Structures are given as structure tokens and as C-alpha cells.
């Protein structure tokens, strides 16, 4: 992944509407994995629409800083 917040946002802007897998640190030795579609990017955060059948809520948002510090890892899935 790129090494600046601006380059992370620019990279995500190019993948809008595509399927993504998120692996987020959820605490001490715990991770949460979610799949969804990258729906929107804003100056400080990006939003992923989740599958309602697999998750209890509709969408989740993360900051670009989470990606930069590797608290959240992103993987784009091929359609």
C-alpha cells in the first residue's frame, strides 16, 4: 500500500464500487474480517457497504490513517 494519506485516498478513489476485504485489528490478538463494496471516499475516511446477510450492520467506515498504520489491511477482490 502507498505510504502517504493522499496516495492511499487516491488509490481507493480508483477502486470505488469494487469488492474489498478488510482485516481490522479488534484488540489484543483479535482481528475482524469483513467483505463489502467500497462505496464512498471522503477527505478523512472511506466507507464500505457490507453484506447484510453476513453482518449485523449495513456499513463501516475507516480512516486513511488506519490503513497507513496497518491497523486495517485492505485486499481488493477480483470480480
- CATH of 5-76 given 3.40.50.20, 2.30.30.100, 3.40.50.800, 3.30.70.270: 2.30.30.100
pLDDT at 51: 80
Domains in the chain: boundaries: 5-76
pLDDT mean values, one per 10 residues, the chain (79 residues):
84 93 90 92 94 80 93 87
User: Rounded to an integer, what distance in angstroms lies between the CA atom of residue 52 and that of residue 73?
Assistant: 21
pLDDT at 1: 53
pLDDT at 2: 59
pLDDT at 12: 93
The whole-model pTM stands at 0.85
User: Rounded to an integer, what distance in angstroms lies between the CA atom of residue 51 and that of residue 41?
Assistant: 19
Amino acid at each position: 500500500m502507498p505510504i502517504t494519506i493522499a496516495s492511499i485516498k487516491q488509490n481507493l478513489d480508483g477502486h470505488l464500487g469494487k469488492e474489498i476485504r478488510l482485516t481490522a485489528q479488534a484488540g489484543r490478538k483479535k482481528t475482524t474480517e469483513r467483505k463489502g463494496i467500497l462505496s464512498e471516499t471522503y477527505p478523512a475516511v472511506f466507507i464500505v457497504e457490507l453484506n447484510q446477510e453476513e453482518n449485523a450492520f449495513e456499513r463501516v467506515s475507516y480512516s486513511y490513517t488506519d490503513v497507513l498504520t496497518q491497523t486495517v489491511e485492505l485486499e481488493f477482490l477480483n470480480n
